Structure 1
Amino acid sequence: MSTKNQFTLIGNVGQTPELKKTKDGKSYLNMSMAVNKRYKDSEGESKTLTNWFNLTVWEKQAEALAKMIKKGTLIAVGGELTTRKRKVGDEEISVTELKVDNLEVLSGGKSNNDSSEAPEEPTEE
């Protein structure tokens, strides 16, 4: 049987990402993304539950997106879940990351000359 490792999310960027480079010169963006779920509680009142996800975008895609994305931008992303070991103090822990292969700006992006305000940020509960 074949297996598959894939995710798709639509949500808002939590803060304007900063383009960084690894020690060996690879460009990357780390960013947070809020995905809101709206529902009604037992009394019929509308509620919003926000889930936060940490995303990583690499190389040419990261360089292009760094110029387009800001806090509040609505994006659709797809990719695969990856795990890696990370040292925290004296302990080595496993970290799950969402490696973005596809990203589409849906609204609220910016051009290189745009300095306008970002759309309202997602609700946190």
Structure 2
Amino acid sequence: MSLRNKVTLIGHTGKEVEVFTFENGSKKAKVSLATKDFYINAAGEKVEETQWHNLVAYGKTVEIMEKYVPKGKEIAVEGKVTYRSYDHKDGTKHFLTEIRVEELLLLGSK
């Protein structure tokens, strides 16, 4: 993987993994990942901020995610940021930012 487009995230999944099977038999997995960060606001209070990321995976990673990654599981992923767009049925254009998972590490005790 190129260092020009590399992301590493550690967080908890926000839902069950969705698996899609294509006509040629290949599979795609999708799941959301919550990462948390903290900062101190102007009043000196610690504030927690949650960011949500859309993860997609292909190949053997799909099988691992399908079998071992339930909702709420803590995982670490390494991959790359991808952007895509599509036209909705109502004619509006939608834009998606996704993390294409290339490495997956199962964390926590769940």
Gap runs ≥5 in structure 1: 110-125
Count of aligned residue pairs for this structure pair = 108
Alignment identity in percent?
A: 31
The answer as to whether partners of 1:35 and 1:51 remain within 8 angstroms in 2 is yes
Structure 1 runs of 4+ aligned residues shifted over 4 Å read 91-94
Gap runs ≥5 in structure 2: none
Q: Secondary structure at the match of 1:63?
A: helix
Bigger fraction of residues in strand:
2
In structure 2, C-alpha distance between the alignment counterparts of 1:28 and 1:80, rounded to whole Å = 16
Superposition deviation, residue 64 in structure 1: 1.9
Q: Secondary structure at the match of 1:19?
A: strand
Q: Deviations over 1:18-58 (max 9, x none)?
A: 32212332112100000101222222222210000000011
Cα RMSD over matched residues? 2.1
Moved more, 54-63 or 35-44: 35-44
The reply to whether residue 59 of structure 1 matches residue 59 of structure 2 is: yes
Structure 1 length-normalised TM: 0.74
Write the letter of the residue equivalent to 1:22.
Answer: F
Change (3 A) 1:42 1:101: same
Structure 2 length-normalised TM: 0.83
